[in-house]
């Protein structure tokens, strides 16, 4: 009777998080921008994970033939 959870606390099992794990900008023979995002949604005991990877590269030549 007293061991029942009050209303509203059942939603605590449903959580969502977004994590940015990598942002890099490298210069040298080219410029590379990498952006990786992890999206995690937890529904009770099940966890759904999505990975979004955005990677752009710009290459340039330093000479003429």
Task: Output the 3-class SS for the chain.
Answer: CCCCCCCCHHHHHEEEEEEEEEEEEEECCEEEEEEEEEEEEEECCEEEEEEEEEEEEEECCCCCC
What are the tens digits of pLDDT across the range 21-46?
A: 555 556 665 566 666 677 777 777 77
Does some domain include residue 3? no
Tell me the pTM.
Answer: 0.30
For residue 64, pLDDT over 50 is answered with no
Domain with 28 in it: 9-58
What tokens does 7 get? Answer: 């209303």
| Number of domains forming the structure of the chain | 1
Residue 35 inside a domain? The answer is yes
Does residue 22 lie in a domain region? yes
Whether residue 42 lies inside any domain: the answer is yes
Secondary structure of residue 12 in the 3-state scheme: helix
């Amino acid at each position: 009777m007293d061991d029942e959870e009050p209303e509203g606390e059942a939603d605590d099992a449903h959580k969502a998080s977004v994590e940015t794990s990598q942002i890099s900008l490298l210069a040298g023979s080219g410029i590379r921008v990498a952006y990786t995002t992890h999206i995690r949604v937890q529904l009770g005991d099940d966890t759904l994970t999505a990975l979004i990877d955005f990677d752009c590269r710009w290459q340039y030549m330093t000479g003429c033939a």
